[in-house]
Structure 1
């Protein structure tokens, strides 16, 4: 069964031939590694002389895979982005399958507030210390995951960082993408002992 897929263009017309190619190719790529993807979006946008293809597919409960690529031709851009997505799915296939068969009751989440803060130009020192301007607030779920599951979601979603409640110790942890390409892990439980000299 084909997933519910939305294909759209920003400053570029998407014809029926490209739309059909995207649907067939993405359905086949995802079905190879994961049964029953829920929905997805593919967006083409023009950037100077290149076309960018952004793919976002909801492959399971709270599991999103994202990828993108640019090329001078929309078909080439899509194929490269689709290939990136398939490589990530292949790398995490076993974990995704294990996650998919886990009973829903084991997937826990903590409700949290997420805010978007405006980046302001540097201000004179006398005005520093004021609270930053919050331009949006929303609720989000911080999921209870193992470190491996958190790294998998960070990689699949091409996220810069992911906060989660560590299933092993119940504490809030964070994984993030380091500038050197590796993934960092922040675990308060393993921080310096209380009273240790800095």
Structure 2
């Protein structure tokens, strides 16, 4: 795996780099062969909070996790635990759904324990229906804020597409639109 480690408001020292590579490198044990992938690690410091975000794009699989803690090394440990849970969950899902040769099932080693998911975990517990009012993104953000929601689905008045505006963790807004 190729590591791309970046620091925001933080200098990535050789000790931090080595710790990240050692911890994230342990994920290789979950695969039959060492995955050829770029590991993108973003380390941040905001108000004495240490944040880490790890993204590992692979063919047919995207692993991504982030965590925040007062201690950078603890945040690294927590994010690796999240990635391990994701891998076990993917393996369980793959074992259930894909039994044919060449599927993702054969990407993982068989030594991993699988996670028994609660059947309720993937259950839709509420369905909501509403009319999509044509509006622009600014009006949709105002509607979202008025309702106190973290996202809002609307019909874009310019092109007629269904779009979503959402509040990001940094307090700013994002727009999701189809390609």
Where on the TM-score scale, by shorter chain, does this alignment land: which range? 0.5 to 0.7
Partner of 1:31: 28
1:91 deviation in Å? 2.3
Contact (CA 8 Å) 1:33, 1:93: kept in 2 or not? no
Partner of 1:55: 54
SS in 2 for 1:14: coil
1:88 deviation in Å? 1.4
SS in 1 for 2:19: helix
Partner of 1:41: 40
Return the TM-score normalized by structure 2: 0.53
1:96 deviation in Å? 5.2
Match of 1:74 among 69, 72, 86: 72
RMSD in angstroms over aligned alpha carbons? 3.3
Q: Distance in 2 between matches of 1:100 and 1:75?
A: 39
Partner of 1:91: 89
1:132 deviation in Å? 5.1
CA separation of 1:18/1:89 partners in 2, compared to 1, >3 Å: closer, same or farther? Answer: same
Q: Distance in 2 between matches of 1:23 and 1:101?
A: 29
Q: Distance in 2 between matches of 1:48 and 1:100?
A: 50
Contact (CA 8 Å) 2:66, 2:79: kept in 1 or not? yes
SS in 2 for 1:92: helix
Return the TM-score normalized by structure 1: 0.48
1:131 aligns with 2:157: yes
Contact (CA 8 Å) 1:49, 1:72: kept in 2 or not? yes
> Which structure 1 segments of 5+ residues have no match?
104-116, 124-128, 135-162, 164-198
Q: Distance in 1 between matches of 2:38 and 2:44?
A: 20
Contact (CA 8 Å) 1:9, 1:43: kept in 2 or not? yes
Q: Distance in 1 between matches of 2:74 and 2:12?
A: 14
Counterparts of 1:101-112 in structure 2 under 5 Å? 101-102=102-103
Q: Distance in 2 between matches of 1:7 and 1:92?
A: 25
